[in-house]
Amino acid sequence: MGARAQPSKLLVKRPVVGLTDRHGPPSTDARKAGVTHWVVEVRWADVQPNGPNDFVAPSALDASIKIAGTHHSSILLRIRDGADAPSWAKSLDDPPLQLTMPQSGAAYTMARWWEPRYIKACDDFTQLLARHYDRSPAVGQVTVSCAGTYYTEPMQRATAYRPNSEALSAAGYTEEKDLAAEKAAIDTNSAAWHVTRSELAFNPFQTLTDTGHAKLDVSATFQILAYAKHKLGKRFIAANNGLRQDYIDLPAGAPYKTLYNRLAAEAKAGAVVAFQTATLHRVGNLCKALAFAAGPQRATAIELPQGYMHAPGCPTSAFAQIDHLLLSNAHALKLSGQ
């Protein structure tokens, strides 16, 4: 992709701060409860359906930018590459992979995301989006997505599902190649989004051993975190998209316990940290999960699950206090245009 100048002296926008609806603009009742921001998803296949010279403007994003301006709200732009890449991009390096999401059983196709031609195509697409939306005041942050698969969580590979591990091994996947792709995705965002902060979702890294067996590699997670922190600087947001109540009291040494301890340490040291909760039927007590993220984890933003206005055991009257904690955390970091 070549060397590109780093935007070290540009004014970086304020990120999304507060409770966030991850399915679009919050309802009037949700706004009254303290939910003021939202997520907009943009699929690569919708923007460039026929080839790299396409540009179909993402109408949902354009509409949300107008709404956000009237409500003084911010948007988290979630770019869906991976399974949502166009078919031409998935076929740049041999036929697409056939993979499966174990939780739902949903089958999907996927490019060999570690191969140079796919990396270059995703880099070009990201640059294209950034040219249109980097300077939009409403877009507070954008995901690092080029190394994603089914989710915009690029460390989630579902390698414990044997058909996936076998397909990846047969396609030439290695952890070394995957780590290089993760770093290339960070490089892409760093070069494309000059004033918009980049959010990278962290999980215990799901990968394969040299013999093709599934493994969790938290040390690789932290290697990627350190690289992103160095490359993106003040534009870096460390995130986790699976917050749930039963992760709060995990024993020492458990992979997610280790990850959350690291995220808390990063926040304490001045990093911006954000969370997305698990779905409503997986999160447990929503209020307890939110309090954990806004309290000891020092998050500045939390994406809420669908149905949050009617979460059992979590009245919406509690949202204002959670939102106040998130704002306080942001204030402590002096988060504004920087």
Contact between 125 and 148 (Cβ < 8 Å)? no
For the chain, the domains span 18-332
Q: How confident is the model at residue 102 (pLDDT cuts 50, 70, 90)?
A: confident
pLDDT value at 117 more than 60? yes
Radius of gyration of the chain (CA): 19
Whole-angstrom CA distances from 17 to 74, 75, 306 are 8, 10, 19
pLDDT value at 2 more than 50? no
pLDDT value at 5 more than 50? no
Cα gap 266→94, rounded to integer Å? 40
* Mean pLDDT rounded to a whole number for the chain: 95
Cα gap 138→14, rounded to integer Å? 10
Q: What is the pLDDT of residue 207?
A: 98
> What 3-state class would DSSP assign to 210?
coil
Residues with Cβ < 8 Å from 235, sequence gap 6 or more?
12, 190, 193, 196, 197, 198
Q: What is the pLDDT of residue 104?
A: 87
Kindly report which listed range (92-106, 113-127, 193-207, 213-227) carries the lowest average pLDDT score: 92-106
> What 3-state class would DSSP assign to 208?
strand
Q: What is the pLDDT of residue 1?
A: 52
CATH topology of domain 18-332: TIM Barrel (3.20.20)
pTM of the model: 0.95
pLDDT value at 116 more than 90? yes
> What 3-state class would DSSP assign to 141?
strand
Contact between 101 and 110 (Cβ < 8 Å)? no
Residue 332 identity? A
Cα gap 54→211, rounded to integer Å? 41
Average pLDDT over residues 54-80: 96
pLDDT value at 9 more than 70? no
Average pLDDT over residues 67-86: 96
Kindly report which listed range (99-108, 142-151, 165-174, 306-315) carries the lowest average pLDDT score: 99-108
Q: Which residue has the tokens 């779905």?
A: 279
